[in-house]
Structure 1
Amino acid sequence: MSSKKIIIISGPTASGKTSTSMNIYDHLLKVGLSPAIVNFDSLLFYKELSIGTAKPSQKELGEYEHHLVDVVSAKSPLNASEFLEYADKALNDLIEQGKTPIFVGGSAFYVRAFVKGMYEANPIPKELRLSIDAEYKEKGIQFIRDFLKENDLDSYNSLHENDHYRNIRAYEYFKSTGMPISLEKEKLEKNSPYDFSINRLNGYEIIHIYLDLPKDEHWKIIQSRTQDMIKSGLVNEVKDLLQNGFTGKEKPLTSIGYKETIQFINGEFSSEDEYIDRIAISTRQLAKSQRTFFKKVTPKETFHPLIDKDNIVNLVISKLKED
């Protein structure tokens, strides 16, 4: 079996990626391979977040080798450049150890960065980032917008003035490289952004398993998973975070599930039912966005996560056996 192959399992949120990865893992062991799961779901990077991220249980993390889970604190969010460093190291280490990497997650931005590369691949020097952060706090976003208008008009026109994060990133990039980030983004877009057969992975063959299911069936799963998170103690998880130094404004805590829970704790919903419905609806909207991205991606093999379990395993093993 070839050692230059990577399995990617993608799909919208709550589509069964975790259970599928573990099923594949079990079957690869049976045919004599040594698999390892590498996470690219952005919220699973954070040590303090568990219930609202549908993170694998401690038992599952112990039974199945995982990488890029619980690697940093939510107080210091991981950016895409740092993710690439972690992912590349995990890939190289696993291949050297003769293991079969299974990359799993629904974060379209991260999987595309891993496969295709990104225009912000060079990390911004820490000193520059701290200097710009101080500048932003002193002068505000309008100063940065004015700079972009003069030096990176495409970014200025494409970014909303309220999107402070991306405006600051564009400003940082120009200050670091002397080049508009919009030019680098344009180069990336010309590089067939959805064609995973053309990639940065140095000859690795990608076996891309995409999971999806009918929207009405998926909606029931989303509602059920939301209920399970509440019953498992999501509110208490967030209360503990807020009592232990978190403000609620950290980027990971503005994600779906955590944002609504903070609002619920603050009394911004009229009832628990409204709170639960809001999480489920936001999750469904995220799934729609993820579907829109992944439908454009080629090549991939699409499967129903519940009906096609055997077909998924058979395809993966047959692809791994190919020379």
Structure 2
Amino acid sequence: MHPAILIHGPTASGKTALAIEVARKLGGEVINADSMQVYRDLQVISARPTEEEMDGVPHHLFGYVDAAARYSTGEWLEAARGVLKKLQRQNKHAVIVGGTGLYLLALTQGLSDIPPVPDDIRAEVKQISDTEGADGLRARLAPHDPDLAERLGTGDKQRLARAYEVWLATGRPLSDFQTERQPPVLKDGEWVGYALTPPRPALYKKIDRRFEGMLMQGAMAEAEALVARNLDPELPAMKAHGMPWIAAFVRGEISAEEAAENAKRDTRRYAKRQFTWIGRQFPFWPRIPSPEIGDRMRVIFALYREIDTAHTEDYA
């Protein structure tokens, strides 16, 4: 089998276009590893590639989940496993691309088998999070999972909430589950990963421009349709980058200018956290700082031809 090519990087770093070009050169297919691009209701807001951008390259796991679902990493992993088996049988290259580092971590290192959290506990922890913030969550978590409580920063409010949910639901620290991983879908030697690390000032400007373009390309209509469905604001799809602020504007709670500025700010902060994730979780992945697609292709194939030694003619 050909080793899978994994492409990770912060939002707006050009992952999609690069993955399509790599797959086209190899006659391969693209698999989504972005937790928001799985939702069919978020074509524009999640920057999911259009049919025109796909340009005939087969794509998998894009836009196939309803926004009302709480789609999990485990569900994505099983879906990705099925696509990978199919491509392996066909002797095709798999190009796996996305900004959700947890998906790629689960794919290559295995997934922790954590029981589902009941809705009442989820609601309880949300109330604590809203009223006490990250510091309150940390104080509650620390007696039960001190190592994780110390490791998570105040910007990790969502992960602190998740850890406290797991403790309340199971009576066991989340860190216990994290050491009991299932075998990975892709074992060592069956994949190679690349991390895009473009210069941050230019990336942040690109994030701002892209969000402005989304507003003109239909992001507002997507938000209006979701707000009209009265979906739980805690659903993953309702927390997509910019979605909470656009929804607040649709409901008449804030101005368009405030919605846009807050959405841009939050997305820049998310990109910063993605850089941090790459440094901590994927320390040995080759970095590609150049924003130019030609440079990126050269780096990818220079390494890939050494790994996929049985098919070096594919990369001439």
Q: Same fold (TM over 0.5)?
A: yes
Number of the residue aligned with 2:19: 21
Matched, 1:242 2:239: no
Describe the shift of the 1:70–1:180 C-alpha distance in structure 2 as closer, same or farther (beyond 3 A). Answer: same
Number of the residue aligned with 1:41: 34
Shift of 1:8: 0.4
Counterpart Cα distance in 2 of 1:164 and 1:216: 31
Question: Within 5 A, what are the aligned runs for 1:152-231?
Answer: 152=144, 154=146, 165-174=162-171, 180-186=173-179, 201-231=186-216
Question: Within 5 A, what are the aligned runs for 1:266-277?
Answer: 266-270=251-255, 272-277=256-261
Higher relative contact order by CA 8 Å / sep ≥ 6: 1 or 2?
Answer: 1
Question: Which letter maps to 1:103?
Answer: I
Counterpart Cα distance in 1 of 2:120 and 2:265: 37
Describe the shift of the 1:27–1:316 C-alpha distance in structure 2 as closer, same or farther (beyond 3 A). Answer: farther
Alignment check: 8 A CA contact 1:209 1:301 kept: yes
Question: Which letter maps to 2:22?
Answer: I
Number of the residue aligned with 1:281: 265
2:76 corresponds, among 76, 80, 83, to 83
Matched, 1:12 2:10: yes
Q: Secondary structure at the match of 2:45?
A: helix
2:301 corresponds, among 314, 317, 321, to 314
Shift of 1:310: 4.0
1:259 corresponds, among 221, 244, 260, to 244
Question: Which letter maps to 1:305?
Answer: P
Describe the shift of the 1:138–1:322 C-alpha distance in structure 2 as closer, same or farther (beyond 3 A). Answer: closer
Counterpart Cα distance in 2 of 1:67 and 1:168: 32
Shift of 1:255: 2.6
Q: Secondary structure at the match of 2:20?
A: helix
Alignment check: 8 A CA contact 1:152 1:182 kept: no
Alignment check: 8 A CA contact 1:39 1:105 kept: yes
Counterpart Cα distance in 1 of 2:272 and 2:252: 29
Alignment check: 8 A CA contact 2:163 2:173 kept: no
Shift of 1:61: 4.6
Identity %: 24
Question: Which letter maps to 1:318?
Answer: R
Shift of 1:18: 0.1
Counterpart Cα distance in 1 of 2:4 and 2:148: 38
Shift of 1:207: 1.8
Describe the shift of the 1:261–1:4 C-alpha distance in structure 2 as closer, same or farther (beyond 3 A). Answer: same
Number of the residue aligned with 1:55: 48
Counterpart Cα distance in 1 of 2:102 and 2:203: 22
Question: Which letter maps to 1:50?
Answer: Q
Counterpart Cα distance in 2 of 1:157 and 1:72: 33
Describe the shift of the 1:42–1:137 C-alpha distance in structure 2 as closer, same or farther (beyond 3 A). Answer: closer
Number of aligned positions between the proteins: 291
Alignment check: 8 A CA contact 1:207 1:319 kept: no
Alignment check: 8 A CA contact 2:13 2:291 kept: yes
Describe the shift of the 1:266–1:60 C-alpha distance in structure 2 as closer, same or farther (beyond 3 A). Answer: same
Number of the residue aligned with 1:194: none
TM-score (ref. length: structure 1): 0.77
Question: Which letter maps to 1:279?
Answer: A
For structure 1, the residue ranges without an aligned partner over 5 or more in a row are 30-34, 189-197
Alignment check: 8 A CA contact 1:27 1:313 kept: no
Q: Secondary structure at the match of 1:7?
A: strand
Shift of 1:91: 1.7
Shift of 1:134: 5.1
Number of the residue aligned with 1:113: 106
Number of the residue aligned with 1:193: none
Question: Which letter maps to 1:284?
Answer: R
Counterpart Cα distance in 2 of 1:180 and 1:268: 39
Shift of 1:292: 0.9
Question: Which letter maps to 1:274?
Answer: E
Alignment check: 8 A CA contact 1:260 1:279 kept: yes
Counterpart Cα distance in 2 of 1:80 and 1:122: 11
Once the two structures are superposed, residues 182-210 of structure 1 have per-residue CA deviations (whole angstroms, 9 ceiling, x without a partner) of: 3233566xxxxxxxxx9662344322121
